Structure 1
């Protein structure tokens, strides 16, 4: 099986590599179209800011390549947000795989933004969450989130309920960081790689 991690100007990629190393998966880190298209599984991770990352994706043509992929694709954190239609972060037009807008958490007295740390996910409806315990805890770091919508396959509640995971066709996405979410995150990655 050929697994590709998409190379673009986003942070936290090393953590994804370590997570795949732990479960014994070989991978290629690349922005080469032929390598991406020939992969069995594609991972689109990221930590970063929406507008600068989308600018880089457009410069490399990745904004057209990623939505056209036919194999299973997993986006995480900013990767998930860029797979949506639009982000309020610097008013950024994204790739539109999921027809939903990413919004900033509303200012709420006594509650910090960004949402950072461990929180539980609920309402699983995904092959990626198979065999997880109910209300599993995963690690979040984000100030923007996709609302609950028709693509939502797991939710989290911070200020308001939001989409912790999305799914449409061959595209899967998680707002949290699978790669640093302990055994739960590892199980989600393993389930993705078995698709």
Structure 2
């Protein structure tokens, strides 16, 4: 069962429809899932109360090797922290999520993703494909960056580390290219 972690924030229904998943709201649901998606529309701090209730279960599932995908805020929660506010992320990726500066925020609309290294999620996606973004914070480029997007400078729009994946864009709102990303993730579930 594809479990979609319900953080009590927006965008659950779109993701559930796109992946035909089941909402998981507690440790039991996380532990039963064969794969997890952590979606999100909202703020880092607003997600903390719910994340704290399932943090150890998610980390345990990562250690067991089940596939985990963070979408938008879900990608940001995979990091240690965020400039957006207090709270401790899942710390799967090192570093702090940064706020855009020198450009209009939020970054809303269609933008290109350029592959950076070999990527499971971007397999079959053409170079420079457009995806839909809505965010004011971003993950810096690192050794785990598999997709780059330029908005006032390059940032990680796709990250991958073992069985953990993250996308800053919304695949559930990105047409055929987004559907392909979700299928690429689903193949692993």
Q: What's the TM-score once normalised by structure 2's chain length?
A: 0.92
Give SS of 2:10's match: coil
Structure 2 match to 1:36? 30
SS of 2:114's partner is coil
Give the distance between the partners of 1:190 and 1:85, measured in 2 at CA.
Answer: 28
CA distance in 2, matches of 1:188, 1:30: 22
2:138 is aligned with 1:145: yes
Deviations 1:114-160 (A, max 9, x none): 11100000024211111111111000000000110111111100001
Alpha-carbon distance in structure 2 between the residues aligned to 1:136 and 1:91: 34
Structure 1 unaligned residues grouped into runs of 5+: none
Aligned-pair CA distance for 1:169: 1.6
The 5-angstrom pairing of residues 55-66 of structure 1 reads 55-58=49-52, 60=53, 62-66=54-58
- Return the match for 2:70 from 72, 75, 78: 75
Give the Cα–Cα distance (whole angstroms) in 1 for the partners of residues 160 and 48 of structure 2: 21
What corresponds to 2:157 in structure 1? Answer: 164
**2:42 aligned residue (48, 69, 94):** 48
Q: Give the number of aligned pairs.
A: 184
**CA RMSD of the aligned region, Å?**
1.3
In the TM superposition, what is the alpha-carbon distance from 1:191 to its structure 2 partner?
Answer: 0.6
| TM-score, with length taken from structure 1 | 0.90
Q: Which runs of 5+ in 2 are unaligned?
A: none
CA distance in 2, matches of 1:135, 1:118: 11
Q: How much does 1:79 deviate?
A: 0.5
Give SS of 1:172's match. strand
After TM superposition, list the pairs within 5 Å mapping 1:127-138 onto structure 2. 127-138=120-131
Residue 187 (structure 1) shift: 0.2
Q: Identify the residue that residue 8 of structure 2 maps to in structure 1.
A: 9
